[in-house]
């Protein structure tokens, strides 16, 4: 029943392709940004925020974001730092990133800044794919409208509303998948019909999109999902697997079981880069 309801909603959104561009990103104060944290944890969170702001030149985001979105970008940066800790990345002039299932791409800023710094890159080419980009919010803006605003803020990137499985995207230095649907319940809860439940195909396509020597980064909600991921990626061993628990966001408890995995696609001669 839920799937049928979602299928009707999805078809209507797809047919309407509703857009109302011109999203103005808010500039909420960042005073007491960690007011939700325990008093004794706040000083270290403030130090961490300062560190990340400096390292990744976050001022444009700091001055034009909600508190929630700003903290979420801090979380993405923290998580990516953990995922790549100790991995020697080879400098690259240009880095191509493909993000699979971008929602409204509210973490685009963190994503581009992280990889620009990690690869010492001069240019970032980034594309986010989202199958349900025409979801309309209460303010009558769509996911795609918000994604356009976040990408403008990050000054880089494209957002494609479409099925990544059907895309011809290839040769990415990094493919990211943050919380792909590995259970039917999650997919239904997010408003998609069961026809789109094809985690094996999605993950296979994502791994094929990475160029030899490049990285596939996957974040999952639970260890159970990680086990499933490993089954789908049979034959690939993560070069790093880390916990993504944090207290930098006000939903810290929900991050308790999160896990990040990084896979490196072998070079054609069997070696790896970096």
Verify binding: residue 181, ligand SAM, rule CB under 6 A: yes
Q: Using the rule CB under 6 A, is 178 a contact of ligand SAM?
A: yes
Determine the residue with CB nearest ligand SAM: 101
Looking at the Cβ atoms of 135 and 156, the one nearer to ligand SAM is 135
115 near ligand SAM, judged by CB under 6 A: no
Residues binding ligand SAM: what is the number (CB under 6 A)?
19
Give one DSSP letter per residue of the chain, joined into a string.
-HHHHHHHHHHHHHHH--------------TTTTTTS-GGGHHHHHHHHHHHHHHTT-HHHHTSS-HHHHHHHHHHHHHHHHHHTT--PPP-SEEEEEEES-TT-TTHHHHHHHHHHHTT-SEEEEEEEETTTT-B-TTS-BHHHHHHHHHHHHT--EEEES-GGG-----EEEEEEES---SHHHHHHTT--GGG--HHHHHHHHHHHEEEEEEEEEEESSHHHHHHHHHHTTT--EEEEEE---SSSTTGGGGTT-EEEEEEPPPTTS----
Note whether 145 binds ligand SAM by CB under 6 A. Answer: no
- Least distance from ligand SAM to the Cβ atom of residue 78, Å: 14
Closer residue to ligand SAM in complex, CB, 50/227: 227
* 130 makes contact with ligand SAM (CB under 6 A): yes
Choose which of 49, 78, 132, 145 interacts with ligand SAM (CB under 6 A). 132
Give me the residues that bind ligand SAM (CB under 6 A), please: 100-103, 129-132, 163-165, 178-181, 190, 192, 196, 202
């Amino acid at each position: 029943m839920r799937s049928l309801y979602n299928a009707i909603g999805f078809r209507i959104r797809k047919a309407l392709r509703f857009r109302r561009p011109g999203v103005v990103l808010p500039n909420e104060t960042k005073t007491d940004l960690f007011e939700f944290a325990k008093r004794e944890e706040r000083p270290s969170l403030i130090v961490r925020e300062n560190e990340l702001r400096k390292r990744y030149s976050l001022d444009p985001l700091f001055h034009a974001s909600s508190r929630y979105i700003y903290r979420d970008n801090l979380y993405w940066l923290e998580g990516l730092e953990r995922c790549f800790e100790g991995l020697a990345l080879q400098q690259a002039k240009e880095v191509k990133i493909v993000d699979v299932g971008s929602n409204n791409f509210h973490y685009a800023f963190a994503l581009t800044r992280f990889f620009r710094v990690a690869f010492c890159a001069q240019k970032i080419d980034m594309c986010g794919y989202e199958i349900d980009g025409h979801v309309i919010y209460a303010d009558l803006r769509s996911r795609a409208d918000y994604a356009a605003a976040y990408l403008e803020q990050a000054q880089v990137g494209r957002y494609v509303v479409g099925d990544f499985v059907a895309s011809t995207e290839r040769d990415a230095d990094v493919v990211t998948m943050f919380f792909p649907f590995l259970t039917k319940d999650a997919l239904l809860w997010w408003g998609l019909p069961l026809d789109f439940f094809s985690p094996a195909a999605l993950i296979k396509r994502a791994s094929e999109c990475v160029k030899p020597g490049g990285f596939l980064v996957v974040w999952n909600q639970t260890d159970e999902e990680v086990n499933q991921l490993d089954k789908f990626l049979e034959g690939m061993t993560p070069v790093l697997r880390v916990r993504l628990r944090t207290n930098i966001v006000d939903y810290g408890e929900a991050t308790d079981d999160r896990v990040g995995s990084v896979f490196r696609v072998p070079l054609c001669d069997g070696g790896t880069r970096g």
